[in-house]
Amino acid sequence: MNAHEYALQANGSFALPDACFKVKALMEDENSEISDFADVISVDPSMTSRLLQIANSAIYHFPGEISTISRAITIIGTQAIYNMMLVDVAASAFKHFENQAIDLKRFWRMSIYCGLVTKNLAIKAGIKDIERLFVAGLLQNFGELLVAKITPKTASNCEQYSRDNLPWAMQASALGFTYTDISAELLKIWQLPEKIIIPIRHFNQAQSNQINKDVKVLNLASRLALLDSHSDLFEYDEVIDESLCANLKLSKEDIEQVTEIAANDATGILALMNPKLFSR
């Protein structure tokens, strides 16, 4: 199977709700109003509740409570609302897993942490439109869930990474491509904005001087997420490519500050996404 075939098989289990497509259509309609977005979202009580939870979470750090969808849209913006709907899709993916092919707690910690670090590194690097980069960081490794569902033995083998065989090398050896390639294919099927897909699709070309900053930030964030979850296994100098830091003009102090913030915020967000798993 190639990356696209994995994505096609998975699309039935991880389909976007109709509301996502309706919100995307409204975003492309210059005549749409805030009330139009609120009408689409508010008909689903579960989604309304989840979006308000996320809007009041550590992802955005807004002072004061956001209590209505309309206010959330006014303050955060339609793109961020759409992004939060994608976060909700990611959270709901838990229900599709009953196998033990991968460590789900590790997977979600790395995903949320990567999203937070990607967003905050982007701020440090002077990149605009940072909400899309949070989503890119969150979903960049979504392919792992798909491989675990479709070919669990392969996913289990890929999880046996080490200092000598980093995760991306293990994936390329077992599959002929990496989890990010599957993620990019699935997000294309989902018709996500190209700005979210590009850094994921070109993840493995991050060291190229010609590649854009979004890709470099995402690649660096994923490596920092690996360190966060496996501090006993990996050393900073073994995993982090200093050329990426230099290209983005990020100092060691910048990295330390961003990772500290992400570590603190990730715990609360994980509990929000799946209290049953992360309250233990």
In the chain, what percentage of residues exceed pLDDT 70?
Answer: 88
What span, in angstroms and rounded, lies between the C-alpha atoms of 211 and 204?
A: 10
Spatial contact of 228 and 239, defined as CB atoms under 8 Å apart:
no
What span, in angstroms and rounded, lies between the C-alpha atoms of 195 and 46?
A: 28
In the chain, what percentage of residues exceed pLDDT 90?
Answer: 39
Cβ contacts of 34 within 8 Å, gap of 6 or more: 70, 73, 74
Q: Shortest CA distance to 57 belongs to which of 35, 32, 36, 83?
A: 83
- pLDDT score, position 145: 87
Q: Is 163 exposed, middle or buried (0-12, 13-18, 19+ CB in 10 A)?
A: exposed
pTM of the model: 0.81
Q: Where are the domains of the chain?
A: 3-278
Q: Which two tokens stand for residue 36?
A: 């139009």
Task: Please identify which residue in the block is written with the tokens 């809007």.
Answer: 55
Calculate the CA 124 to chain-centre distance.
19
Q: Which two tokens stand for residue 11?
A: 């699309």
The mean pLDDT of 58-70, rounded to a whole number, is 77
Domain 3-278, CATH:
1.10.3210.10
Report the alpha-carbon angle 264-266-183, nearest 5: 150
**Alpha helix locations (H) across 93-129?**
104-124
DSSP conformation class of 209:
T
- pLDDT score, position 96: 62
| Strand, helix or coil for residue 102 | coil
What span, in angstroms and rounded, lies between the C-alpha atoms of 219 and 221?
A: 5
Report the alpha-carbon angle 6-182-112, nearest 5: 125
Whether pLDDT at 263 is above 80: yes
The mean pLDDT of 146-150, rounded to a whole number, is 88
- pLDDT score, position 229: 92
| Strand, helix or coil for residue 32 | coil
